[in-house]
Structures are given as C-alpha cells and as structure tokens.
Amino acid sequence: MKQAVKTDLFASKAPLEWAVIANGQLSTAQIPINAEGQVVEGGIEAQARQTMENFKHTLGAAELTMDDVTQVLIYVTDREYLPVFNQVYAEYFNAPYPNRAAMVVAGLAREEMLCEIVAYAAVPGA
C-alpha cells in the first residue's frame, strides 16, 4: 500500500503527490518551483538549487535524509547545464553517493523549466 508524504511544497492542482512511500522506498520527482508554484528565475544554477532544496525538504517531511537516497535521475534541457547542476548537486551529498543518471531532454512540463529530478530513497524499517 502506498502512502503520500505530506510536505509544505506548493499544492499542485495536477493529480500528483510530491512523494509516496511504498514497499520500503520513497519515490519523488522535484522541479524548480517556489512556494507560490512559480518556476524560479536566475538560470540553471538557481533552478538546480531550488530543485535540490525542494528534494531535501521532501526527504525531511518523510523523516529521511540525503544519506537515504539510493538513486537520482537528472533531466536538463541543455547539455551545457550538466556541469552547473553537478556543482550544486555535489553540495547535497556525501560518499557513498547515490546511483544516478543524467539525461538531456528536448523539454520539460513547463517551458521555463531547465531541470527536474526523479529520485528514490530507502525507508529504514519499512
């Protein structure tokens, strides 16, 4: 049975939860939006940081930490954004790092979004 993780992130009108826990694993997708639901301005660095802050907040709401993360899938809309995203990403993790993949995509759900992540974390004792 899956359980939604309640966060303080913007309450989307879309049929989604920011994270769910099922079978001992948290699943989440995070985007660079602020508390008002607006995509943050300032380019890839600002968007990467907002995405990672939203992710960290979601983990905290589930009583997890970045150390519980097992896999991260990174999506960027331009290959040149990857080094910047990597710099920001590295500030949030310590070794051993999660498994990860990075993909360059033609676009994301909102035209102004430059990045998105999908991530999974182990839920201890679940």
pLDDT tens sequence across 12-70:
889 999 999 999 999 999 999 999 999 999 999 999 999 999 999 999 999 999 999 99
Domains of the chain: 17-122 (3.30.1330.40)
Contact 75, 108 (CB under 8 A): yes
Q: Quick count: other Cβ atoms within 10 Å of Cβ 27? A: 17
Distance CA 120, CA 126 (A): 14
pLDDT tens sequence across 92-114:
999 999 999 999 999 999 999 99
Q: Is the pTM of this model over 0.85?
A: yes
